[in-house]
Amino acid sequence: MRLDTRRFSGALGIVDDDLDRLQGQALPSPNLLATDAHDLECVLFRSPALDGVLAEYGDRDKIRRFEADYGGTVRDALLARGLVFGRLRWLALRRDWDLPFHKLGPERFADRKTWEVDRDGLYAAAVAAGALESIDAIHAAVSELPDADPWSICRGHDLIGLLRTGCNRYLGI
């Protein structure tokens, strides 16, 4: 934006979309492009790069068994788990809640043995931080969010934490 005021030409910036598109916020400059997912990490998770990470840090047999039992890919499962956190973040943004998300991360709420997310535990922590009066109220509020591209909702850092937890034991060597 500073370059716009100086009439500098030939510059293009790329920024994380975060939740801007979902919130209807336009970019502040025609010289900016936003990622087509929440952030650069999500762009990478959508790409074949995830397959390389799984090949390096995952156990092929554990991954194969997981995908057969789950009925989808590790990418699908990662995205589903990330949505729990992403939708709560989106709700907090829409309602202007000041939640301590640094304390509400996947490392705290993703089980290392089962790779399942303790959604109610996460929501209970949000209630304790002053979000709403009950876990049920958060469930209801989250369910009222509009449908949107999951890759725009999920935050890359949450997906990294979830993948780290999954590869630590459940999917990894």
Residue 125 lies in a domain: yes
- pLDDT at residue number 169: 83
Q: What is the mean pLDDT of residues 143-166?
A: 97
Mean pLDDT of the chain: 94
In this predicted model, what pLDDT tens digit does every residue of 61-80 receive, in sequence order? 999 999 999 999 999 999 99
Let me know if residue 137 belongs to a domain: yes
Using CA atoms, how far apart are residues 170 and 8, in angstroms rounded to an integer? 51
Number of structural domains (the chain) is 1
* Per-residue pLDDT at 29: 87
In a domain, 35, yes or no: no
Cα 134 → chain centroid = 23
- In this structure, the strands spanning 13-15 and 32-34 are parallel
In a domain? residue 50: yes
pTM comes to 0.91
Tell me 131's DSSP state.
Answer: S
What digits encode the pLDDT tens for the residues 111-129? 999 999 999 999 999 999 9
Question: Quick check: is 17 in a domain?
Answer: no
Contact 91, 137 (CB under 8 A): no
Domain extent at residue 81: 40-170
Q: Does the residue 88 lie in any domain? A: yes
The pLDDT value recorded for residue 9 is 78
DSSP class of 84 = H
Residue 32 within any structural domain of the chain = no
Nearest to 39 by CA among 23, 17, 69, 11: 17
d(CA 111, CA 38): 24
Report the share of the chain in percent with pLDDT over 90: 84
**Cα torsion through 130, 80, 56, 40, rounded to 10:** -70
